[in-house]
Amino acid sequence: MLEGWARQQAARFLKEKTIRPRLRLIKRLEEFTGLYPWQWTPADGEAFIAHLRSGSDPIQMSTARTYEVTVSLFLEYLLDARYEWIDACLERFGEVPQAVFHEGNSVLHTVEYEADPRRRPLTYDEVQALFDAADARPGRIRGLGRKGALSTLRDAAVLKTVYAYGTRRTESSKVDLADLRRNRKMPQYGKYGSVMVRFGKSSKGAPPKRRTVLLIPEMDWVTDTLDHYLAEVRPQFSPGRHPALWVTERVGRLSPRSINEAFVAARRDADLDEDLDLHCLRHSWITHVTEFGYPARFVQENVGHSHTSTTAIYMGARTSTATPCWRLP
């Protein structure tokens, strides 16, 4: 059943990183109930969700909905007569699968955004503190006689670039040198006038969305950051002909997880709220650029949102009454 469902999803061009967690969830439900899918009842599904909501680390409402939708998709596949699982189960076991989650026992999607409210835009002072902490890490590591100073120099440049262009972690990871483009309207920024995002967030079954992110004057300090990284830091990794902008010590592409870890390390050193994560830098870009006075449509297109309402959700309360005087880079 799982192999067939995986093939069905692959035929829809869903990504492996989408399929694998879905299969793991079905196995978790099987292990929790001790039953096979054709034996599951709505009571089993309710007990599973209730279990996940208990304990010291309960799941969020949005997570519960994702789990319920995933289980429902699997059971819809089993109940589709075109795959003949109903007949096979009836013949072999005398039982057939049934829907586990329904309107009466599942989470309804009534609002567009349900993320933790503690995930918010950083203030200008918090952004500065984060970057100061990231800049201080290489010197501290050298002082301790430890390895890793070069990686922390790269990590500081990564975090500043993520904020300056408002990109997602996966988008940032997959930026190549060739994606740094000129903006004819802003020749003073050289090859950093825009970034071609080729792996934007995609809709299910669709290829990644592409967009061009323009560098704005308030973020032009990032040109010095990138100049220094490309001239002084990246060559020390001996990247050869590797196309990635951000490379590792083993001459691979820096992963989204590694960018997350760089943020967490800088956040910890800066003594910022533990609830802040890397995606908060994207929230910060949207909030700050809006405060700078840029039109809503400009902000929406740069971050790659299909609807202005989504961009508005990312907005936080005003972080200042004036444009900051950055000390960066």
Kindly list the structural domains of the chain, giving each domain's residue range(s) and its CATH number in brackets, ordered by start.
Answer: 2-93 (no CATH), 124-314 (1.10.443.10)
Largest alpha-carbon pair distance within the chain?
74
Q: How many residues does this entry show for the chain?
A: 329
Give yes or no for residue 309 having a pLDDT over 80. Answer: no
Q: Is 93 helix (H, G, I), strand (E, B) or coil?
A: helix
- The pLDDT assigned to 147 comes to 83
d(Cα 43, Cα 226) in Å, to the nearest integer? 56
Q: Give the span between the Cα atoms of 309 and 159, in whole angstroms.
A: 26
Task: Determine the average pLDDT of the residues in 196-211.
Answer: 81
Can you tell me whether residue 167 is helix, strand or coil? coil
Distances (CA, A) of 248 to 11, 167, 234, 236, 245: 34, 20, 9, 10, 10
- In which element (H, E) is residue 264 found? helix 256-269
| Sign of the torsion formed by the C-alpha atoms of 161, 304, 298 and 289 | negative
Q: How many CB atoms lie within 10 A of CB 248?
A: 16
Q: Provide the 3-class DSSP secondary structure of residue 139.
A: helix
Give 25's strand partners: none
Q: 207 pLDDT exceeds 90?
A: no
Q: Please name which of 3, 1, 65 lies closest in space to residue 36, comparing C-alpha atoms.
A: 1
Give the pLDDT of residue 14.
86
Using pLDDT thresholds of 50, 70 and 90, give the confidence band for residue 166: very high
Residues 120-137: what's their mean pLDDT? Answer: 94
pLDDT, residue 13, reads 86
Tell me what pLDDT residue 116 has. 57
Instruction: Say what the pLDDT of residue 22 is.
Output: 95
Closest CA to 288 of 127, 116, 119: 127
Give the Cα-Cα-Cα angle 10, 16, 20 (nearest 5 degrees): 105
Mean pLDDT of the chain: 89
